[in-house]
Structure formats: structure tokens, C-alpha cells
């Protein structure tokens, strides 16, 4: 959808906050944690949009954090996956203001906020003595 006027300015400002290097490093970390291959040729936000890989990530970081999630279905069901991830991340120790809103991801309203939220989860996981999985590269933390 084309943006005009103030909407175009906001969209341009949000897009300028994105870093393909950070996004690719974050995807590499996520998929290393969940034990799967990063999908090739799929945009960062599309990989995350249905919330499935985020739910898997949360369950690897804190086993049993999300009891059930859907791997397909209506927009409502997929948005519920994202909501479950956000709730589980909060329960794990990521504060509400360090996460993102469901629409930020599902409607691609603020992808940089999604990235920051996942990095904040990685930061909490790295400081959790019970988490023994892969660590996110330190330079990613420094750039966010």
C-alpha cells in the first residue's frame, strides 16, 4: 500500500531504523536456538509474521513457556501466536516496554521495534544461568 504525506514520512523514518545485518544475525540466532535452518529468500518480517518461530524460540529458551500454538490458520490465530510469545517473554523477565505490540509485527507497523524486542529477550536469556543455548553475537547488543 502506498503511503502519502505524514504517513509516508513515518514509514520512511521507521524503515531507516532497520539494519539488514542485525536482522540476519538475529534470524541466524533464532534458528540456531530452535534447531532449524533459516528459510532462504524470505523477508525477515515474513519469517516472523505468523509467530510460530517466536513460540518455538520461547519454548527453547524456557521449556514449556507456551503450551500450544498454531502453525497455520486465520489472521486471528496467527496474531494469537504473537500474543503468546509476548506474554511468555514478559513472564520470562522482559519488561513490557522492551517488547513490541502484535500489530508491529503482524501488520508490519514497526519492524525495528520487533527487532529490539527480540534482542531484549536474547539479553535476558544470556543473563539466565538456566539458559544453556546459543548466545546472540555481542555486536548486535551494542548496536541496539
Is 8 part of any domain? no
Residue range 69-104, pLDDT digits in tens? 999 899 999 999 999 999 999 999 999 999 999 999
Total domains, the chain: 1
Other Cβ atoms within 10 Å of 104 Cβ, number? 22
Looking at the whole model, is its pTM more than 0.75?
yes
Domain with 101, as residue range(s), is 20-142
Is 107 part of any domain? yes
State the CATH number of the domain containing residue 26: 1.10.418.10
Q: Are 22 and 123 in contact (CB under 8 A)?
A: no
Other Cβ atoms within 10 Å of 6 Cβ, number? 8
CA 136, chain centre distance (Å)? 13
Other Cβ atoms within 10 Å of 106 Cβ, number? 20
The span from the CA of 3 to the CA of 18, in Å, is: 18
Residue range 6-20, pLDDT digits in tens? 555 545 555 568 999
Is 59 part of any domain? yes
pLDDT, mean over the chain: 91
Amino acid at each position: 500500500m502506498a503511503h502519502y504525506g505524514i504517513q509516508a514520512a513515518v514509514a520512511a523514518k521507521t524503515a531507516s531504523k532497520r539494519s539488514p545485518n542485525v536482522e540476519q544475525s538475529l534470524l541466524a540466532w533464532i534458528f540456531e536456538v530452535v534447531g532449524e535452518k533459516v528459510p532462504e529468500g524470505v523477508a525477515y518480517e515474513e519469517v516472523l509474521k505468523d509467530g510460530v518461530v517466536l513460540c518455538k524460540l520461547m519454548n527453547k529458551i524456557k521449556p514449556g513457556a507456551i503450551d500450544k500454538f498454531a502453525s497455520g490458520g486465520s489472521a486471528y490465530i496467527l496474531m494469537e501466536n504473537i500474543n503468546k510469545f509476548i506474554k511468555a517473554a514478559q513472564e520470562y523477565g522482559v519488561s513490557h516496554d522492551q517488547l513490541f505490540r502484535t500489530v508491529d509485527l503482524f501488520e508490519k507497523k514497526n519492524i525495528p521495534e520487533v527487532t529490539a524486542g527480540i534482542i531484549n529477550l536474547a539479553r535476558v536469556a544470556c543473563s539466565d544461568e538456566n539458559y544453556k543455548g546459543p548466545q546472540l553475537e555481542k555486536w548486535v547488543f551494542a548496536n541496539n
